[in-house]
Amino acid sequence: MQRGSPKSPQFQEVLQHANIRQSAGVIVLKIIGVISMRIVVIGSGIVGSSAAYECAKAGADVTVLEAGRIAGGTSAVSFAWTNATTKRPRPYFDLNVAGMRAHLELRRDFGAAPWFTQTGSFDWRTVPETMDDYFENFRQMREWGYGVEWMDKKRVGEMEPDIDVSAIGDCPISYYPEEGWVDPVLCSAWLLRAAKERWGAQVKVGSRATEIETEGGRVRAVRTANGEHYAADAVVNCTGGWSSERLGDAQGIPLSSTIGVLAFTPPVALTLRSQLHADDLDLRPDGAGRIMIHKVSVDMTFKKPETLSPTGDEAATLLDAASRVLPSLRSAGVEAIRTTVRPFPEDGYTCAGAMPDIAGHYMAVTHSGVTIAPQLGKVVADEIVRGKIHEEMETFRPQRFFQAYAQRSTVAHV
Phi, psi of 200 (to 5 degrees): 75, 20
Max Cα–Cα distance, the chain, nearest Å: 76
Task: Using only the alpha carbons of the chain, give its radius of gyration.
Answer: 23
* Whole-angstrom distance, CA of residue 86 vs CA of residue 319: 26
Q: Which DSSP string do the residues of 272-302 spell out, in sequence order? A: --SEEEETTEEEEE-STT-EEEEEHHHHTT-
Phi, psi of 367 (to 5 degrees): -70, -45
SS3 helix, strand, coil % of the chain, rounded to 5?
35, 25, 40
pTM of the model: 0.90
Tens-digit pLDDT profile for residues 10-59: 444 434 433 444 444 444 444 444 479 999 999 999 999 999 999 999 99
Beta bridge partners of 72: none
* Whole-angstrom distance, CA of residue 234 vs CA of residue 15: 18
CB 49 within 8 A of CB 191: yes
Average pLDDT score over residue span 388-407: 87
| Residues with Cβ within 8 Å of residue 134, at least 6 apart in sequence | 123, 125, 171, 174
CB 337 within 8 A of CB 301: no
Of 321, 319, 378, 326, give the one whose Cα is nearest residue 352: 378
What does pLDDT average to over the chain? 91
**Backbone CA torsion sign across 276, 340, 183, 133:** positive
Tens-digit pLDDT profile for residues 263-305: 999 999 999 999 999 999 999 999 999 999 999 999 999 999 9
Q: Which DSSP string do the residues of 344-359 spell out, in sequence order? A: -BTTSS-EEEE-SSSB
Q: Give residue 403's pLDDT.
A: 80
Neighbours of 60 (CB within 10 A): 25
Strands, sheet with 218-224, edge to edge from the N-terminal-most edge strand: 209-215, 218-224, 229-231
Tens-digit pLDDT profile for residues 137-189: 999 999 999 999 999 999 999 999 999 999 998 889 999 999 999 999 999 99
Q: Give residue 413's pLDDT.
A: 37
